[in-house]
Structure 1
Amino acid sequence: MLFLILIIFIALGIWFFLQQPQFGKVPAAARLERIRKASNYREGTFHNLSATPVMSEDVSMWKAFVDFLKPGKDRQPDKPLPSVHTNLKTLPTDEPVLVWFGHSSYLLIVAGRKILVDPVFSGHASPVSFFGKNYPGSNIYSVDDMPEIDVLLLTHDHYDHLDYPTINRLRPKVKQVVTSLGVGAHLEGWGYDPGMIQELAWHEDVTVAGVLNFTAWPARHFSGRLFKRGQTLWSSFVLQTPGHAFYLGGDSGYDTHFKEIGDQYGPFDLAILECGQYNDNWRYIHMMPEQTAQAAVDLRAKMLLPVHWGKFTLALHPWYEPIERVTAKAGELKVPLVTPRIGEPLLLSGPPLTAPWWR
């Protein structure tokens, strides 16, 4: 009897924990009906263009977990990162400027509009505060530092891109949201007005704030905040404004979509591509740094900004390895590369920021 009572208490504890708001909501009703009509939704889940196992064919989840627990060299920096605290509310709005906040979070100002992408300011990249902590010096920005946001762009619903504490606190500052199909279920559950949310399936587009045209395109990845994957969509985004074009890559393994997008929309003034948290164990869902440089070539990018590094340790490589490897390959392929420090304004028309500050 005591054992049964213990099991009941454990089950109730797990149930209560999973009811916490950071886990989000599953799409339902009209949103689910729209999802079911998507061209890449089959058998109850979204699919990539190419067959994409989360783990490589020769790797088990147990092996990947054991590998992650093994000690590794330089997986975190040994001193605070040299970040820059910029007054984001006084940045120029008459020319494109970008401020990177580490990992995949950044503020892009273009055509006089402010776009905030995948912001994570809680200090951790997980549903709990004790796992996935940021590096010292990498989390110097908070929601209070953000200006009024014309568009909050959310590429997919993983915790290192869709951060409940940040999104919840940002709500009064956000005018509109653009995101992948299904992600709006989380946002509505967190109090966002459905009328301010634009959810896109792949190849759909929307014009926001008069001059910002977003088109959702494939990425090679997956989604999910609990046990079942693929209930919401993951996307990359093409952003077109009068006179400029940007590729906002989100998370993606390497695939043919980069060249297709480059052929249709290129050249891009700037491609912002993931570069970090990779491993051969999950080589289909995250690019190796050399593939990041090749993707910039495929996209016909005039300039490459590597992101998805410099804030969290979510893989096994040394924390600085992604930027070292992509720098070498970009030089070989003659891809112009920019490497701003966290918080350092990158002016599109200004001199490129290329200092190897991580060394």
Structure 2
Amino acid sequence: MKVYGVGLIIASCLLAACGTPNQVTQITAPDAVIAQYKEGDRAGRYHNVYPKKQNYPTTCETDCYPAHPDLLCETSAENCQYQGRQTLPQLNTNYTVRWLGHASFSINTPNGQHILFDPVKAQFDSPVDIAFKLTGGIYRQPGAWLNEQELAGIDAVMYSHIHYDHFNKADIELIGNKPYYLTPLGMADNFPTGGFNISEMPWYSKTNIDDLTIHAVPAHHFSNRVLIPYIYNDDNKDSWNGWLLEQNGKTLFFAGDTGYSKHFQDIQQKYGDIDVCLIPIASYYHKENGKWYRYVHTTPEDALNAAQELNCKVMIPWGYGNSSWQMGDHSSHSALLRLLHMYKKMDSQVPLYILNEGESVQL
């Protein structure tokens, strides 16, 4: 495989591809699930598999954020590094997982494919980025990112949904149109123009890159993407996915943004026990709207219960951290403190492996 520098990719785009229409297909499957309203003013909008009020098996009520000796912070639960000794289970999956920060992951598969989940380098697309700075919002510290050689070797990019912290058009242009892009239904029209090869996938559909099988699976979330809130209503016009990689009989699950629901049990029943689980643990707290935040984001204890239902052989948490957005959190690492606390309190038997931004692990 030839390796091209980012500058050459961008120059090629400017000279040839930026005006090229994108290639968009929809992948179908006999048992695919397309959860849309059929009638009324919401007809054609997407909804969750289990849209009603959820029952949460475990909820931390008091003293949920005690300090932990393995989490070293500059101030209370802010700007931290996890320093605990960790023992990996003997999985022999040969997946290598690198956490770039927040929801962004770089995955090397057992047979050498390079995959990205929700790659976001900066905070918001322009002009929202500028408006956010001017209004004094919390500005995200940059996470880890890929070097030019890594960017040139990407085989596929998968997005879970269109929220700004998971999907950034400037980063797509930087990555270029060489990789295969996979999205939930309806999401392709949010891409910049530039000859991008995009497949939209409903829940329980699949596709392949050589011998790597990629499954689109449900998440419990929502979607919208507006320049200014409430100016226009695009709520749930596009769907939202989790993703499951399968190669050499080994599986890796990326949950995407999701709340807790029975869809975790459904995934396990359909695909069996999962080897590596990347599950979010943050953005569940809000003083005025806490029930809604938890409805669409797993608490640490929800994530642990989901991992148990998936029979994960190892769980890697994400969503917290020095490069997180801190939307719906007490602090950058409050969610990790709660996870460490509830892991012990719940006597969880799911092996846990914790990464700092930029770190990688071979499983």
When normalised by structure 1's length, the TM-score is 0.71
1:59-98 Cα offsets, whole Å, 9 max, x none, are xxxxxxxxxxxxxxx9996557689xxxxxxxxxx93211
CA RMSD in angstroms comes to 2.9
Superposition pairs of residues 229-244 of structure 1, within 5 angstroms: 229-244=235-250
Identity %: 25
1:321 aligns with 2:334: yes
Letter in 1 for 2:203: W
1:273-304 Cα offsets, whole Å, 9 max, x none, are 11101122422111111000000001110000
1:156 aligns with 2:149: no
2:156 alignment partner, SS class: strand
Runs of 4 or more, structure 1, over 4 Å off, are 74-83, 123-126
2:155 alignment partner, SS class: strand
1:342 alignment partner, SS class: coil
Q: CA deviation at 1:156?
A: 0.8
- 1:351 corresponds in structure 2 to none
Letter in 1 for 2:222: F
Q: CA deviation at 1:221?
A: 0.3
Moved more, 39-48 or 246-255: 39-48
Letter in 1 for 2:189: A
- 2:40 corresponds in structure 1 to none
Q: CA deviation at 1:256?
A: 0.3
- 1:237–1:79 Cα change, 3 Å: closer
Paired residue for 2:35, among 37, 40, 51? Answer: 40
Q: State the alpha-carbon separation in 2 of the partners of residues 326 and 125 from structure 1.
A: 31
1:240 alignment partner, SS class: strand
1:5-49 Cα offsets, whole Å, 9 max, x none, are xxxxxxxxxxxxxxxxxxxxxxxxx989x9xx9731121310111
1:336 alignment partner, SS class: coil
Superposition pairs of residues 78-89 of structure 1, within 5 angstroms: 78-79=78-79
Task: Between the two structures, name the one with larger relative contact order (CA 8 Å, sep ≥ 6).
Answer: 2
Paired residue for 2:301, among 277, 290, 303? Answer: 290
- 1:115–1:233 Cα change, 3 Å: same
2:171 alignment partner, SS class: helix
2:179 alignment partner, SS class: strand
Q: State the alpha-carbon separation in 1 of the partners of residues 162 and 336 from structure 2.
A: 25
- 1:190 corresponds in structure 2 to 193
2:279–2:318 CA contact under 8 A, matched in 1:
yes
- 1:95 corresponds in structure 2 to 94
- 1:313–1:245 Cα change, 3 Å: same
Q: CA deviation at 1:322?
A: 1.0
Structure 2 unpaired stretches of 5+: 1-23, 38-42, 54-73, 84-92, 227-232
Structure 1 unpaired stretches of 5+: 1-29, 54-73, 84-93, 349-359
1:204 aligns with 2:208: no
Q: State the alpha-carbon separation in 2 of the partners of residues 31 and 175 from structure 1.
A: 15
- 2:310 corresponds in structure 1 to 299
1:309–1:319 CA contact under 8 A, matched in 2:
yes
- 2:181 corresponds in structure 1 to 177
When normalised by structure 2's length, the TM-score is 0.70
More helix by percentage: 1
